[in-house]
Amino acid sequence: MSCAQVAVRKSATEPLLKLRARPLRLALVGNANVGKSVLFGRLTGQYAVVSNYPGTTVALTLGRALIGAEVCDVTDTPGVNAVEGVLSEDELVTRRILETGETDVVIQVADARNLRRGLMLTSQLAAFKLPMVLVLNMADEARTHGVHIDAAGLAASLGIPVVETVATEGRGVAALKDVLANAAVPNPRGDHAGDHAKWAHDMAVQFRRLQPRSAARVQERLSRMVREPATGLPILALVLYVMYLIVGVFGAQTLVGLIENGLFKQFINPAAAFLVNRFVPWAIVRDFLVGEYGLITMGLTYAIAIVLPVVATFFLVFGFLEDSGYIPRLAIFSDRIFRAMGLNGKAVLPMVLGLGCDTMATMTTRILGTPKERLIAVLLLALGIPCSAQLATIFGILGGISFAALMTLFGVVLAQMFLVGFLAARVLPGERSEFMMELPPIRLPHMRNVVYKTVLRVRWYLGEAVPLFLVGTALLFVLSRLGWLAAMTRGLEPLVQGLLGLPARTTEVFVMGFLRRDYGAAGLFRMARAGDLQPVQAVVALTVMTLFVPCVANFLMMVKEQGWKPALGILGVVTVIAIGTGAALNTVLHVLHVSF
């Protein structure tokens, strides 16, 4: 029977024979890090569209799959831990997709190595009375760890097809397509069918056999090491250093240099200027397109030549860490610190992402469970998380001065983040969500899977973040034409020279840093190389730049996620903190006669 002939059944035994006038709608549902996105790619090929669920900021990946001779619509839902009880925004969206008639068949993707976790979700999905297929993914790694599952027995007990797959290699995908026509409403049976944890445990014991192997013992030992402070801190330092080398050095310097100086400055921008000057008769339009603040010469150059290499390399590193199982352990490791700031361990994800791009990281704050947590996370990202371009500048300038200068900056910034988060947790109304995270096994990621996810995320960046760069560039053009940009620079000079003790040229760098953070960072780097910044001035300037207001693109993302009033409030708070901290640091360093 073809895919388009599958219909929702009223019972588990009613045959699926109803013809449809529209494509069948399949929803991939599962916990995080179980391979849903990889399986989505195997089913849909290259066709995929990322869009927000109506009325929310939750992104869904949509595509079409050819099953037999029929085309089916496929939705890759966010990774969830539950679809009942107190839910995050991601989990609420998944629940709505299941209960509002937007799904005909559910393909639940579970980690074959953690059957109990997957079955806990199965028992909740059964309540929606939708035909289901259970996919036990990463079956090869399960067997490597001595985990063997009686898939046939499990299928008979649940009353639904159960398929073992290795999505990264495409194994089992054809079998999944074959059994979709047999999708059925699950019928969990047993003494504890109403008690999800207990029922899932009993089922896992019944249908899973364990044969411990040395590889599993080594991985468990490594898993404990990354969670314990004595060994976790050195491992974290090593991870951040490798991330800096790949993102901050290779991405932000090598790749950016090749694309910006080689491709854009030598070919694209000259060609665009030639064509615009030849065929566009209006001077203001020519200036808007290829002028100092032109959409092509600045907007596209910054978005594609400067930020894209950094974002792409960060996505690559993050995908590797994500698939390795390290990120959930880092969340557990840092949970106690984040709790003091009104957050929980989940906040480590946007904070780590912010080291690549704060604009993209601000969007990921939606994974946090409550509005209060999301607001605090956005505030801390805007305040103290430097993007990769800033990190490269910080290491490039202060690393050449002294280690003490570097530690002074990081110490001041981290102290301010902790203080602001601590106060915000007690001033802002709202609750903190509970932190529950089941750990996936530590493993060596499949690079094909990592690259595939990187490509999908880069496509998201091109579609969602690049337009924000163009909006920011257009705003900069308007400010320049109206003379407001020059006025802002002149108005800030007394503050910059007086309170902060910095050269007058730094004023323009700060203004441009708001319009593009990496532009401001580059300006400070050029000043330092030219000898225009003394060591103390370099520390003060970089501290203020790190704590300073976010760039326009990030501000617009803050507006999108939080609304105008909270975004403007955050803008005002971080500006006051940055200037006040810079002034205090400048005074203390001079009183103590610190010269680094």
The dihedral sign for the CA sequence 436, 440, 444, 447: negative
Give the Cβ contact number of residue 187 at 10 Å. Answer: 14
Tell me: do 191 and 322 sit in the same domain: no
Is 262 part of a structural domain of the chain? yes
Which of 179, 211, 243 is at the close of a domain?
211
Residues 259 and 150 in one domain: no
Bin 468: left if φ > 0, else alpha if -120 < ψ < 50, else beta.
Answer: alpha
∠ CA 44-47-49, rounded to 5°: 110
> Tokens in use for 58?
């939750």
Distance CA 587, CA 139 (A): 61
Q: Answer yes or no: do 202 and 150 share one domain.
A: yes
* Phi, psi (rounded to 5 degrees) for 215: -60, -40
| pLDDT score of 86 | 67
**Same structural domain for residues 380 and 465?**
yes
Q: Are residues 297 and 163 in the same domain?
A: no
- Whether residue 71 lies inside any domain: the answer is yes
Residue 82 in any domain: the answer is yes
Pairing of strands 49-52, 59-67: antiparallel
Range list of H helices, 208-256: 214-227, 229-243, 256
Tokens linked to 176: 């999944």
- CA–CA dist 353, 206 (Å, integer): 40
Q: How far is CA 564 from CA 488, 561, 571, 573, in A?
A: 22, 9, 10, 14
- Structural domain count, the chain: 2
For the four alpha carbons of 275, 280, 285 and 287, in that order, the dihedral sign comes to positive
Joined together, the tokens standing for residue 309 give 């290499």
Task: For strands 49-52 and 147-149, give the pairing.
Answer: unpaired
- Coil, strand, or helix at residue 475? helix
Would residue 157 count as lying in a domain? yes
C-alpha distances (whole Å) from 520 to each of 229, 301, 313, 314, 543 are: 36, 15, 21, 21, 13
59-67/105-111 β-pairing: unpaired
Host domain of residue 22: 3-211
Q: How far is CA 35 from CA 28, 167, 176, 312, 352, in A?
A: 10, 7, 14, 20, 21
From CA 349, how far away is CA 328, in angstroms rounded?
A: 9
Alpha carbon 252 to its chain centroid, in Å, reads 18
Which residues on neighbouring strands pair with residue 109, listed in sequence order?
30, 135
255 and 396 in a single domain? The answer is: yes
d(CA 5, CA 19): 5
Q: How far apart are CA 112 and CA 137, in angstroms?
A: 5
Same domain assignment for residues 146 and 277: no
Residue 85 lies in a domain: yes
Beta bridge partners of 171: 166
Given a contact cutoff of 8 angstroms between Cβ atoms, the answer to whether 567 and 555 are in contact is yes
- For residue 100, the one-letter residue type is T
For residue 431 the two structure tokens come to: 């609750």
In a domain, 223, yes or no: no
Q: Looking at the structure, tell me whether residues 302 and 197 fall in a common domain.
A: no
- 475-to-468, 552, 567 alpha-carbon distances in Å: 11, 9, 17
CA–CA dist 452, 460 (Å, integer): 13
Q: How far apart are CA 202 and CA 122, in angstroms?
A: 13
* Residues 351 and 469 both lie in one domain: yes
C-alpha span between 355 and 392 (Å, rounded):
10
Q: How many residues does the chain have?
A: 596
**Cβ atoms 164, 139 nearer than 8 A:** yes
**Dist CA 413 CA 291 (whole Å):** 36
Same domain (yes/no): 171, 249: no
Calpha distance 315→451 (Å, rounded): 9
Beta carbons of 111 and 440 less than 8 angstroms apart? yes
Sign, CA torsion 84/90/92/93? negative
Q: Which of 180, 211, 242 is the last residue of a domain?
A: 211
Q: Taking the CA of residue 210 as centre, how many other CA atoms within 13 Å lie in the half-sphere pointing to its CB?
A: 10
- Does any domain span residue 120? yes
CATH of the domain at 21: 3.40.50.300
* Statement to judge: residues 484 and 454 lie in one domain: yes
Q: 68, exposed or middle or buried, with CB in 10 Å at 0-12, 13-18, 19+?
A: middle
Tokens of 351: 């904070």
Longest dimension (CA), the chain: 84
Statement to judge: residues 181 and 261 lie in one domain:
no
CA distance 132 to 451: 30
Q: Coil, helix or strand for 210?
A: strand
Q: Which of 162, 181, 211 is the last residue of a domain?
A: 211
CA-to-CA distance for 461 and 469, rounded, in angstroms? 11
Does residue 341 contact residue 425 with C-beta atoms inside 8 Å? yes
Structure tokens of 318?
A: 């993050």
pLDDT < 50 positions in the chain: 1-19, 192
Distance of alpha carbon 110 from the chain centroid: 22
**Beta partners for residue 59, in sequence order:** 52
Residue 227 lies in a domain: no
Which residues are bridge partners to 50 per DSSP?
61
Instruction: Read off the tokens for 228.
Output: 């314990």
